[in-house]
């Protein structure tokens, strides 16, 4: 019997690989601006700002600019697989 990975976990691993590929050559390879994050995940900027306000979302603010921490985002996603995130 073959041990198969659940589809949602497989999609998450594919998303993480997309993040790694997108980060290559960036100055801050482990951080996304709100705009970069929205473009990478094909979601609206307002949705990203709402995510930034949710509990435990891996965001830091430097001056007036918010950055999403890519490595911590991967961990946040894994902790929240199967949950509904209320925005």
7 versus 58: which is more confidently predicted?
58
State how far the alpha carbon of 16 is from the alpha carbons of 2, 28, 63, in Å. 24, 17, 28
Q: Model pTM greater than 0.75?
A: no
**Interior CA angle at 54 toward 28 and 83, to 5°?**
105
Sign of CA dihedral 3, 14, 33, 22: positive
pLDDT digits (tens, 9 = 90+) for 25-84: 555 568 899 999 999 889 999 999 999 999 899 999 988 899 999 889 989 989 988 888
The domains found in the chain, sorted by start residue, are 8-80 (1.10.10)
């Amino acid at each position: 019997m073959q041990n198969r990975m659940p589809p949602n976990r497989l999609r998450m691993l594919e998303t993480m690989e997309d993040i790694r590929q997108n980060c290559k050559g960036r100055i801050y390879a482990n951080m996304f601006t709100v705009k970069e994050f929205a473009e990478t995940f094909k979601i609206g900027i307002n949705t990203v700002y709402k995510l930034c306000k949710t509990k435990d979302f891996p965001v830091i603010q430097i001056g007036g600019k918010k950055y999403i921490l890519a490595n911590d985002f991967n961990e946040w996603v894994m902790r929240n697989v199967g949950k509904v995130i209320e925005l």
